[in-house]
Amino acid sequence: MSVSDFQPVIGLEVHAQLLTRSKIFCGCSTEFGAPPNANTCAVCLGMPGVLPVLNEKVVEFAVRTGLALGCRINPVSIWARKNYFYPDLPKGYQISQYDQPLCEHGVLEIDGEDGVRRIRIRRIHLEEDAGKNVHDAGGGESLVDLNRSGVPLVEIVSEPDIRSSAEAGEYLKALRDVLVYLGVNDGNLEEGSFRCDANVSVMRRGATQYGQRVELKNINSFRFVQKAIDYEIGRQVELVESGGKVAQETRLFDAVRGETRSMRSKEEAHDYRYFPEPDLPPLRIPGGLVERIGRELPELPRAKLQRFASSYGLPAYDAKILVGDRELADLFERTQAAYGGPAKKLSNWFTGELLRMLKEGAGAIGALRFAPAQFAALLKLVDGGELSNNAAKDVFAEMFRSGRDPKEIAREKGLVQVQDTGAVDAAVDAVLAANPGEVEKYRSGKKQVFGFLVGQVMKAMKGKGNPALVNAALKAKLGD
């Protein structure tokens, strides 16, 4: 027996921070990086006697998320207290949703190894985040920072439909892309605004019952998700094969050692003593809200990807890069509309020069100095033979810096190619007259001297001759 005799079964739980300016039940700022405990008040500090007030924007963002993932939006959902003790949870409970969540029964399509896979979403519920314990703060003590306490989260729970660590990675990337497109999450794993727990079990191929699942906690990079899951699959298979039993537990992934280790035996739902939150009425979605948000949903990454491939005829590789960033995709469409030439040509400029300059200058697409029409004008200059490809790159770099018009820059830098056939003819005549020996060779069949003659004409024209015109004029005069 080996790993290939077993079928991994994986479900993912993602906690995503909603991009509201204030917290879910009070007016404190959600800004990341403030001094410890600066963004707190009596409500999110968990003082007795205070009451939570729901942030309307949080509900809108969660409904948007649910609709984008094809969920049913429940008209009534219930707030619940999840009771547990931890120093970063001063109330002793977290306000969450339990048996009646806001959204249910959705789906997310991903690219599996053998084609499209539909991963079902079991539920999406709202909850508040806890604070953060800071260990090893310097003096050997542990400190508590409650800036994050009360930050709004959606928890997105998939069904155990994922069958490999690679699929888990695809699912997370696709989910993050959707949330970022919706503008409800910044997709930042490092700052903890997109966190993932994985439920992993294995069963023998052909078995009908899932094995005992183990929960892997707080894995904070896409790379680690796959590593942690692969390690865990290997560990469970080895355990089962040697006659052992997988224990129900929560394990942490140790990124340094590349292994998971037991954190605690997994608590059951009833350990949390969930009960309806008495300080908040049931969440009732006002009539018309779901319809309005549905109408305002943007085109989602997968649909955009297909459209970029079909309507612009772009290769999948190009489409993926462009669609990977909503702003980049928008800029591409506006520029292409102004350009009207072959989309692949424009795509080459985007995936090449533009992305390179953005990366080097650490610039943002939203802060570009030139307009789509100017970008389009640059390509038209190349298409019309007025600029060589290399000269266009120089002009583009200057547009990037100054936002000035490409034609103006090209003229100023003396990069405009001579379009005047009279000037080209004159240069060709002069070169042919000065090189009778080469002309003789060409006419006697040594066609390779043609390149030399082109070079001489370009040199005579100081590099500004239009190569197509120069070629044509030379051939005509050589009698070809």
Distant-in-sequence, close-in-space partners of 57: CB < 8 Å, separation ≥ 6: 18, 20
> By CB under 5 A, which span of 42-50, 176-184, 367-375, 449-457 interacts with Zn ion?
42-50
**368 contributes a contact to Zn ion by CB under 5 A:** no
Q: How far is the CB of 45 from Zn ion (least distance, A)?
A: 7
Does residue 392 bind Zn ion (CB under 5 A)?
no
> Please, what is the minimum distance in Å from the beta carbon of residue 26 to Zn ion?
3
Say how far apart CA 159 and CA 168 lie, in whole Å.
12
Three-class DSSP category at 143: strand
Question: Using CB under 5 A, which of 26, 321, 368, 410 touches Zn ion?
Answer: 26
Residue of the chain from 3, 19, 34, 41 that contacts Zn ion (CB under 5 A) = 41
Task: Give the other-Cβ count within 10 Å of 209's Cβ.
Answer: 6
Min CB(144)–Zn ion separation in Å: 15
24 in contact with Zn ion (CB under 5 A): no
Closest CB 21 distance from Zn ion, rounded Å: 13
- List, in sequence order, every residue forming a beta bridge with 97; answer none if it has no partner: 79
* By CB under 5 A, residue 130 contacts Zn ion: no
**Is residue 237 a contact residue for Zn ion (CB under 5 A)?**
no
Q: How far apart are CA 232 and CA 251, in angstroms?
A: 9
- What type of residue is 287? G
Least distance between Zn ion and beta carbon 44 (Å): 3
Total interface residues for Zn ion by CB under 5 A: 5
Q: How far is the CB of 267 from Zn ion (least distance, A)?
A: 28
Q: What is the SS3 assignment for 371?
A: coil
Distance CA 107, CA 72 (A): 11
> Judged by CB under 5 A, does residue 95 bind Zn ion?
no
Assign 88 to helix, strand or coil: coil
Q: Can you tell me which of 9, 10, 12, 44 binds Zn ion, judged by CB under 5 A?
A: 44
Toward Zn ion, which CB reaches closer, 43 or 343?
A: 43
Q: In the complex with Zn ion, which residue's Cβ is closer, 35 or 451?
A: 35
Contacts of 103 (CB under 8 A, 6+ apart): 62, 63, 65, 66, 69, 71, 72, 73, 74, 121, 123, 124, 125
Asked if 233 interacts with Zn ion (CB under 5 A), we say: no
Q: Counting contacts by CB under 5 A, is residue 10 touching Zn ion?
A: no
Length of the chain, in residues: 480
Alpha carbons 397 and 463: distance in angstroms, whole number: 20
By CB under 5 A, name the binding residues for Zn ion. Answer: 26, 28, 41, 43-44
